[in-house]
Structure 1
Amino acid sequence: MGMAFPFSAIVGQDEMKLALLLAAIDARIGGVMVFGDRGTGKSTAVRALAALLPPMPAALAGFHPEGAAPPDRKATVPVPFVDLPLGATEDRVVGALDLERALGAGVKAFEPGLLARANGGFLYIDEINLLEDHIVDLLLDVAASGENVVEREGLSVRHPARFVLVGSGNPEEGELRPQLLDRFGLSVEVRTPQDLAARIEILKRCDAFERTPAEFAETWRAAEKKTLRRLARARAGVAQVTVPDAILARAARLCMAVGADGLRGELTLMRAARALAALDGEVVVGPAQLARVAPLALRHRLRRGVLDETGSTVRIERALDELAAA
């Protein structure tokens, strides 16, 4: 695998980068769905974040067959980044059992799939809205449970499959079913930059990275270390961050005000606000963290009124303003 583009060097797309960091801090947030134009750095950002993270213990990554010698406790591997292609079959995704060997020799011969490879890291699916529904169902179930189970002809293999699921798609090419979209923790909208200076800067950085990737990475090493330190502190401290009852009440009132379906939005809102507080170095969630993550956690959970022409983000911001003024 070639060198990844530095996460800190990505121009703009601040909302997408924040959502990815929050999902990396607390996996219970439930992954990230990115909507927007092609060529806006979606897969680049996910790959960059995976590369930024420190190597993880080999025992916590990938698939380890029963009876095999356990990995060296000191051995480490890079955080996995797995790109799931649209044409992937179910066997390639979940893995396959060799029934002939199993029935003939009594050996559970298991060929690990993409879920096993992604264990401990990131699973990225471009154009997830074009993926077959049963595959999306399967992915979301495994992402929620953290375990993959493969059953064939009475034989069963289960293995850990804990990963951050990141999907991307262009709504103009096909909608994702609402009940599936709701299962993603955070939703991000990205657009092609319309600022001339930003577009020029993107061209300069891409060109510099393509010409001399090692030198370009060295230029951004200090910024990458700073981001990694913030992320490491947040991951270590997120469990100690408290959410006051007043913030919980505001989160519930916000979800009621915008008509969010179910309680998953409130849970995600609480977890994302806590993760952001940890990233900010705070020990108590405040209104600022709640307001910042509200569009990420709720915009994809709102029912669209027939006579309501405002977008989801505008409705959420308007509700936040009304709550603040109350």
Structure 2
Amino acid sequence: MTVTAEASPTVPTLPRRRAVFPFTAIVGQEEMKLALLLNVIDPKVGGVMIMGDRGTGKSTTIRALADLLPEMDVVADDPFDSDPSNPELMSDDVRDRLSRGETLPIAKKKVTMVDLPLGATEDRVCGTIDIEKALSEGVKAFEPGLLAKANRGILYVDEVNLLDDHLVDVLLDSAASGWNTVEREGISIRHPANFVLVGSGNPEEGELRPQLLDRFGMHAEIRTVKDPTLRVKIVEERSAFDRDPQGYLERHQAEQQELQERLVKAQELLSSVEVEYDLRVQISQVCAELDVDGLRGDIVTNRAARALAAFEGRDNVTVDDIQRVVTLCLRHRLRKDPLETIDSGYKVQKVFADVFGVEPPDEDA
């Protein structure tokens, strides 16, 4: 009797990871894209608050940005993805190991984007300490939270205006200091929490309090596209991606690679970018005339202008750089009353034009 083997069914080759819509293929929303790129170049800009209509591509753009970023070196056995070459981005444990002369195992890892759910508890966000294990075994048993997972990555909070104010405070404190500290029953543990904080929301559902809004480095407003031709293009691009994700990604691979290399070069150039003294004085004059509380507005505008100059391959900030970022950095700092609406940008640009002696904006535009 002749036995014939059945032909085994062909198993499709699966992509290594789920396809994400490419950042370079996103049509419009230039204000949001610029703010996100500048925060990637210099995370100390302080994050982005994106407010806009439903269905305008906020989440898609942020996921696309995380996917665009190059892989980074991490300490392989460290739960906080410590940077093996920068002590400022190391956990205390890794720093101790390095001081003892230990050789750190290094691995490559994609930049992480962490979605923070609205119902998250403080323990889930900050992490928890196992008190029983700490007391019985004498070790600091720490269960890392979302802040630990987001270290050296992006922490995205959708509908941040609906998040509990206390949690928003925790996120902003960690984003500003770069560290998260958990204390319980006399036991204290801290770990690095350097991340780009991105919040989004719909103005119809309420604004953040001015005190919290001021803590975000930049504020981007996005609107539903009205031009029918542009709307058709957006729909066509999305449909093409949904039909053949891998083929669509291959067509945009060269643009993605070019932008990725540009971001890496900008990060390397950033430390050598200078802002002339006269320009710094004029930036502070704009903040003073707009009656911006505190000095965050001055600091963020300087940082964002330097990041933009680095992105464009220059080591000197120009007036045009400042003009392109000043609205993003200041308009959300003008609200004194929670019932006020955020300035569209006209007021900021008008004062900027007066101080810097450039053409004032068209109020109708």
TM-score using structure 1 length: 0.94
Cα drift, residue 199 of structure 1 = 1.1
In the other structure, the counterpart of 1:118 is 150
Q: How many pairs are equivalent?
A: 324
Matched, 1:212 2:224: no
In the other structure, the counterpart of 2:218 is 186
Cα drift, residue 253 of structure 1 = 1.5
Matched, 1:136 2:168: yes
Which amino acid letter does the alignment assign opposite residue 20 of structure 1?
L
Cα drift, residue 62 of structure 1 = 4.6
Q: Name the CA distance, whole Å, in 1 between partners of 2:20 and 2:257.
A: 15
In the other structure, the counterpart of 1:11 is 27
Unaligned runs of 5+ in 2: 1-16, 82-90, 359-365
Cα drift, residue 261 of structure 1 = 1.5
Which amino acid letter does the alignment assign opposite residue 105 of structure 2?
D
**Which runs of structure 2 are paired with 1:172-321 in the superposition (5 Å)?**
172-303=204-335, 311-321=343-353
In the other structure, the counterpart of 2:125 is 93
8 Å contact from structure 1 (residues 129, 169) kept in 2: yes
Higher-Rg member (1/2): 2
Render the CA deviation track for 1:75-121: whole Å, top value 9, x for unaligned: 11110000000000111000111122222222322111100110110
In the other structure, the counterpart of 2:114 is 82
Q: Name the CA distance, whole Å, in 1 between partners of 2:233 and 2:34.
A: 20
Cα drift, residue 32 of structure 1 = 0.5
In the other structure, the counterpart of 2:193 is 161
Cα drift, residue 177 of structure 1 = 1.0
8 Å contact from structure 1 (residues 299, 316) kept in 2: yes
Q: Name the CA distance, whole Å, in 2 between partners of 1:70 and 1:131.
A: 42
CA, structure 1 residues 164+267, in 2 after alignment: closer, same or farther (shift >3 Å)? Answer: same
Q: Name the CA distance, whole Å, in 1 between partners of 2:354 and 2:42.
A: 29
Which amino acid letter does the alignment assign opposite residue 302 of structure 1?
L
Cα drift, residue 70 of structure 1 = 7.8
8 Å contact from structure 1 (residues 7, 49) kept in 2: yes
Q: Secondary structure at the match of 1:58?
A: strand
Which amino acid letter does the alignment assign opposite residue 45 of structure 2?
I
Q: Name the CA distance, whole Å, in 2 between partners of 1:5 and 1:258.
A: 39
Q: Secondary structure at the match of 2:139?
A: coil
Q: Name the CA distance, whole Å, in 2 between partners of 1:70 and 1:27.
A: 28
Q: Which moved more, 1:41-50 or 1:310-319?
A: 310-319
Q: What RMSD, in angstroms, separates the aligned Cα atoms of the two structures?
A: 2.2
**Residue 37 (structure 2) aligned to one of 14, 21, 33:** 21
Matched, 1:38 2:71: no
Counting aligned pairs with the same residue, the percent is 52
Q: Name the CA distance, whole Å, in 2 between partners of 1:211 and 1:220.
A: 15
Render the CA deviation track for 1:234-254: whole Å, top value 9, x for unaligned: 100011011001111210121
Unaligned runs of 5+ in 1: none
Q: Name the CA distance, whole Å, in 1 between partners of 2:323 and 2:45.
A: 16
Q: Secondary structure at the match of 2:75?
A: helix
Q: Which moved more, 1:310-319 or 1:238-247?
A: 310-319
8 Å contact from structure 2 (residues 334, 343) kept in 1: no
Cα drift, residue 38 of structure 1 = 1.6
Cα drift, residue 304 of structure 1 = 5.9
